[in-house]
Structure 1
Amino acid sequence: MRKATESAAPAEAQQGIRPTPVTLAELASLIGHDSELIDAGRLVAKRRDNVLGLLLRDLTREEIAVMEDRGCRADDWKQVQVAQDFDAFRVRRTHLKGRCVLGRFSGEIEVLAGIKLPAGIYDSTLIDCQVSNDCLLENVRFAANIIIDREAVLFDVGSITCSGAARFGAGQSIAIGPETGGRELPLWAEVTIDEAALVTRERADHEGQKAVRTAVEQYARITTSPVGWVRRKARVRHVERIRDAYIGVSAVIDHALELTNTCVLSSSEEPTEVSGGAAVRDSVLQHGVHVAGNGIVRGSALLEHSAVDEHASVSASVIGPNTTIAKGEVTSSLVGPFVGFHHQSLLISAYWPEGKGNIAYGAMVGSNHNGRAPDQEIWPGEGCFFGLGCAIRFPSDFSQSPYSVVSMGVSTLPQKVRFPFSLITVPAEPIDESQGLVPRAYNELIPAWGLFANAYGLVRTELKFAKRDQSRRHLIDYKVLRPQVMRQVREARDRLLGVAQTKPVYLETDIDGLGKNFLREESRLKAIEVYGRALKRYCLRVMLAEQEGNLQIPGSGELAHELARLLLPGINFNQRMKLLLDMEKQNAELVQASKARDDERGARIIPGYAEAHTAAADDAVVASAWARVKKTADRIAKLGVAL
């Protein structure tokens, strides 16, 4: 089963993160648990006329006179109820229509950082609204059917309304992958990337799919609301139109163009923001999300601490935690955590739950229309890098090629590639026809390239993800060498070893998993060596942790012992630990050498390069690789192994 995350953290670190369901039936039973939206829906159903739970009374004649003297009017003052210590002087030039509830207004409230204004209601029109204590509503030209929680601010708002049957984006169906349908995801507000992946992947489980749809339909019925919400300490400023929106605690909606049929989950510690000309419709924004810079979000779910910025467009997609979409377009895609998408690029119909990859400028990962229908899709692998200006034809499956790179300007054919850490590139050297016929449209595949030529990048990947992770509801393992990946490495190595006959050049007919690419014999031999070294290093790392009593990933011990029997027979534990230390040193040398090559090339080409760039010897990533060597030596020494 493909998972976006593979837990390596101890149980105490997982508190607050619910376990990832294994089956659709299990997932269906979890939908709606600990749901803020459901709690809000039940609160409205319980006491529709006083959702905020204030101690209410009617206005006195004196209070009505004070309010009318200050430009207020009501169609029926008897329909207006107020808190016990309501201050009539705090409501001015306001029109009240229908049943309205007004709280206590006192003191000042912060509108912008460092700028405070008196709490109250000024120059506004309210229809069937309930306003809690210490709020500020100023120049709200039209508000209807809205619950405004305490200390919220609505300042310069064109209209904020509810249709009377708001679903806040829940219950809709998102067409992930084929735009024509087939992998639809019924949306609920608290969905995680692994849960979304499970629903879109397990299509053969018809009973499970039915259970999930039923659970989401029930969720949508419960959350359907006659009122919109602005929760505690939310800030809504300079917005033209809001309709059928749930705006969570401490959320900021500032200079947004539109917020329609959308749930904005937020908290004081993880505020969500929609600002800078952004427009959001029919969507769910989870905690810590930012949509800004004229970004457009339609029919999508932005999971915790993801972002859309700089004119980017996201439609019918799920964007995973810590992923930012900027400038480009994402459509009908499930995009996992930590995907770098910062340029004018295209991603359509992708199933990419593991994420951790990159879409470079001009990359066209979107050939989903075959001339008959837009029903094709792509499955990128974890950590895949799509280079500048590449063009990827569909269908394509790189899911078993994690941390692979499609080089700049490469155009790929529809294919399945099954070699981790590979480079797909235009041939650097011509193919001699005597070595075999290679179709002109084929690219060259170099398996294991990332392990020997880009060791620096792999170490940096682990460091930057650990540093940048802000998610609290997803448990993301930053380690590159994990059981899930190493099983794929082992299978790839076995296929390279299993050739029936050695040849100068191999195609898919010779080695399964090459796709529409060719492989040179020297690259095959190099990959066998490098894959083998990575497998040994992985199994020795796990055996060290096992000896320390610190084995954390389920199943990793079994895989490590299998690899040890296969690759390291006849040597004892002490010898294995000495070998591990040697291999960690070799890897640190690879990391430093890859950075040093950049230093040497840059200094040869660019004047003053050395003065403007950190040298390999002083680089933080290189230092981290050598720190691992020292840490490994210390751990081994503590076990009594003489080094």
Structure 2
Amino acid sequence: MNQIRKSPINTLGYNFIPETYLPKGKDEYYLRNQQYRNGLHYRHLTAYEIEMLVRNRNTSDNWNNIIVSDAFNPELVQDCKFYGLVRIGKLEPYYLEFHNLRRPVGLYNSTIISCDFGDNVVVDNVNYISHYITGNEVILVNVNEIDTTDHSKFGNGILMEGEDEAIRVWMEVCNENGERKIMPFDGMLPGDAFLWARFRDDNTLQQKFKDFTQQQFDLKRGRYGTIGDRTVIKNCRIIKDVKIGTDAYIKGANKIKNVTINSSADAKTQVGEGCELVNGIIGYGCRAFYGVKAVRFFLAPHSQLKYGARLINSYLGENSTISCCEVLNSLIFPSHEQHHNNSFLCAALLQGQSNMAAGATVGSNHNSRSPDGEIIAGRGFWPGLCVSLKHNSKFATFTILAKGDFPVELNITIPFTLVSNDVTHNKLVVMPAYWFLHNMYALARNAWKYGDRDKRINKTQLLEFDYLAPDSVNEILDAITLMQQATGKAYLKSTKGNKKFTAEQQIEEGKRLLETKDPLVNDLEILVDGFENSSRPAQLIKVTAAYHIFKDLVTFYAVQQLIANSGKQFKQLEEQINSIPAKPVLTSWMNIGGQLIQRTAINKLVTQIHQGKVKSWEQVHAFYKDQADKYPAEKFQHAMAALQTVHGIHLKKAKPEQVQQLLQQALAVKTWMVEGIYESRAKDYKNPFRKMVYETNAEMNKVLGKLEDNSFIKQERASLDQYRKTIAALSRRMQ
């Protein structure tokens, strides 16, 4: 039976804060007065103004509780019902216009309960607005319900005074069983979400994160909902317990409940038709429209939900777009793209710069008795058309999956790899360095566009968009050793039969074959273990080419960092080189929400949180900034360690001719890359199956644009010219 409570009509609009939670000596308006400090002088209505309001068919339970500014115009208030304390700012005979919606300033045809209004607002046909504070020049038109409860949390995963733990809102990211759940809060960064979701066996750390979140907010009951200056809300049904920033635009939403909508003049947020948003945080500059459904969610700044997308128990990082599809229980780092109605993502950690193709089903996790599987994918994860994956699976950076149904769990440790399911021969086929061999244009353009499209205003976390960075380079180094061993093992098996060899012997033999580019390698079936949870073979292809590309990439990475840290004066370069330790050490790195941080630094942060030296999320965010400042120098040291590991070159001890050779090798790699960018795009113009839909080359050029006019290719060629000059200048300085 529904519990319908009856109360005296004269109490409507009063006693917002239960007496139990009112501090001694305070009234129910004490928090409201703290929120609403606009500097206006208010006064009571005059007898004439009351008479005019009554004549305009307005009613109030107590006209003494309607207080107004000196510029109040009672003629602009018509057909309204007032209950409780209502404060009204300036009302002047103007009309406000926004996107061709023109409405006169004033309050019309509305029921208003205990609200504050700024100057020159439009409130027209709002059936019910209760306990809200609006800014100046706000437009509210055709809204069924706008109200706030005394215990509203505005989407934050906190508990107000007297609330039971059972009602706390959690986001159950990464795993459907809820054991990686985190509490959303306004201002949460992807790094925060990651740290909280990962260290699950550290009970002290988990409790600290929970405490950080609770202490970040005032837990007293009685906060009013707010609508910032110049915000427009029209043709909506239910807006309940929602905090809305300035300059937001909300139109045609079905329901928004327990949500913070951040918006500003510099980063406007929009919510459009048919949206239903419950228990979440929306960042600055976001857009959600056309039938979006989001529940227990976090939409980080400058991200979009569109065209019926469903986002549930998930964190979506900055500068991301999800359209049409369904995403559940996932933690997604910045720059994610997922546009297609029939793609599905569930119980996943995607570490940025990812793209989900149509039909991709990264959610076939019910291959055990309970829904407790997970998928972890490094930066640049691209599952292709109609890919189906099994949980648990794990992928190195910039893994691309060819179209297919992958029947069992995968653990792909080699970066920049194309993974294919060869059904005909019943084997897994892995092509390392695929991007550099066959799609350099996409790899380079994506790295550029992510940085170019980073619209964040708050750049507390330094996001890494370059495909060559400590995370991918460490995987390259491991892949080089893996390819050496797999090649040596295949060769020794083909020549020595079943004789046993140590891993060191296999590596040594494989290295000899790969370094000399022995053509015998092309005839070997090179297999790897542990890439797939099955007994069928997993084969590496194009190993010789990939091996040398990976070695060249380490050279290029090292010179890139040398250039980035060289400065304009030779003294700076000399100091940088002299900073290289006698024995450079490869460090382990973690992708913390798109920011790469050394594992030792993360361990230190965790220790400081345990010890109480880091006491808040604000201090955690200060840690991110500090690591961002250190990153260029640490990345340089990492590059120098990688260079010595692969090529045996210690830059501080290297002979001049070695340095010159290194610089020229890097220039050759850059030249090859730019040529690869052009050639991979040129295939679209040369392939007869692509050309056959055009009657003439002129028509093709009109539709696709001329290859010679491609702005990105032009940009990369100009970059190559500048790179030549930089290498030449660096070469002179280091002679």
> What range is the shorter-chain TM-score in?
0.7 to 0.9
Distance 1:508 1:585, change over 3 A: closer
Superposed, 1:507-546 pairs within 5 Å as 507-509=527-529, 513=531, 518-520=537-539, 522-546=541-565
Displacement, 1:54?
3.1
Distance 1:536 1:485 in 2: 14
Whether the 8 Å contact between 2:490 and 2:527 is mirrored in structure 1 is no
What runs of 5+ residues in structure 2 fail to find an aligned partner?
Answer: 1-27, 158-168, 492-523, 577-630, 650-654
Deviations, residues 578-626 of structure 1 (Å, cap 9, x unaligned): 2222221111122222122232114554334643334544422322332
Aligned counterpart, 1:15: none
Distance 2:545 2:180 in 1: 39
Aligned counterpart, 1:190: 187
**Is 2:280 the counterpart of 1:283?**
yes
Residue 414 of structure 1 is aligned with which of 409, 414, 423?
409
Identical counterparts, % of pairs:
22
Aligned counterpart, 1:423: 418
Aligned counterpart, 1:555: 634
Displacement, 1:293?
0.9
Aligned counterpart, 2:525: 505
Amino acid at match of 1:593: E
Superposed, 1:311-330 pairs within 5 Å as 311-330=308-327
Task: Specify the structure having the higher radius of gyration (Cα).
Answer: 2
Residue 370 of structure 1 is aligned with which of 363, 367, 372?
367
**Is 2:662 the counterpart of 1:576?**
yes
Name the stretch that deviates more: 88-97 or 599-608: 599-608
Whether the 8 Å contact between 1:296 and 1:314 is mirrored in structure 2 is yes
Aligned counterpart, 1:567: 647
Aligned counterpart, 2:81: 95
Amino acid at match of 2:433: A
For the residue of structure 1 that corresponds to 2:216, the secondary structure is: helix
**Is 2:204 the counterpart of 1:218?**
no
Whether the 8 Å contact between 2:45 and 2:67 is mirrored in structure 1 is yes
Distance 1:568 1:582 in 2: 20
Aligned counterpart, 1:466: 451
Superposed, 1:585-600 pairs within 5 Å as 585-600=671-686
Name the stretch that deviates more: 239-248 or 202-211: 202-211
Amino acid at match of 2:412: V
Aligned counterpart, 1:260: 257
Distance 1:546 1:63, change over 3 A: closer
Name the stretch that deviates more: 624-633 or 553-562: 553-562
Aligned counterpart, 1:4: none
Cα RMSD for the two superposed structures: 2.5
Amino acid at match of 1:444: V
Distance 1:447 1:413 in 2: 20
Aligned counterpart, 2:245: 248
Deviations, residues 387-435 of structure 1 (Å, cap 9, x unaligned): 111101101111xx1111111124252122101000011339x65xxxx
Whether the 8 Å contact between 1:256 and 1:278 is mirrored in structure 2 is yes
For the residue of structure 1 that corresponds to 2:71, the secondary structure is: coil
Amino acid at match of 2:126: V
Distance 1:563 1:206, change over 3 A: same
Aligned counterpart, 1:633: 724
Distance 1:123 1:471, change over 3 A: same
Residue 489 of structure 1 is aligned with which of 462, 470, 476?
476
Distance 1:155 1:462, change over 3 A: same
Deviations, residues 554-600 of structure 1 (Å, cap 9, x unaligned): 32222222233332646432332222222211111222221222321
Aligned counterpart, 1:606: 693
Distance 1:149 1:382 in 2: 42
Residue 121 of structure 1 is aligned with which of 107, 112, 119?
107
Whether the 8 Å contact between 2:349 and 2:375 is mirrored in structure 1 is yes
Distance 1:286 1:333 in 2: 18
Deviations, residues 269-323 of structure 1 (Å, cap 9, x unaligned): 1111111211111111010111101111111010001111101111010111111
Whether the 8 Å contact between 1:109 and 1:151 is mirrored in structure 2 is no
Deviations, residues 172-198 of structure 1 (Å, cap 9, x unaligned): 211011111111111111101111111
Displacement, 1:244?
0.7
Distance 2:101 2:541 in 1: 68
Distance 2:669 2:528 in 1: 32
Displacement, 1:205?
2.6
Distance 1:109 1:604, change over 3 A: closer
Equivalences, count:
587
Distance 2:35 2:410 in 1: 60
TM-score (norm 1): 0.86
Whether the 8 Å contact between 1:97 and 1:128 is mirrored in structure 2 is yes
Distance 2:541 2:32 in 1: 72
Whether the 8 Å contact between 1:111 and 1:153 is mirrored in structure 2 is no
Displacement, 1:149?
1.7
For the residue of structure 1 that corresponds to 2:403, the secondary structure is: coil
Displacement, 1:502?
2.2
Distance 1:558 1:427, change over 3 A: same
Superposed, 1:52-131 pairs within 5 Å as 52-131=38-117
For the residue of structure 2 that corresponds to 1:411, the secondary structure is: coil
Which is bigger in relative contact order (C-alpha 8 A, separation at least 6)? 1
Whether the 8 Å contact between 1:333 and 1:348 is mirrored in structure 2 is yes
For the residue of structure 2 that corresponds to 1:544, the secondary structure is: helix
Aligned counterpart, 2:16: none
Distance 1:502 1:443, change over 3 A: closer
Distance 1:85 1:613, change over 3 A: closer
Whether the 8 Å contact between 2:247 and 2:265 is mirrored in structure 1 is yes
Amino acid at match of 2:420: T
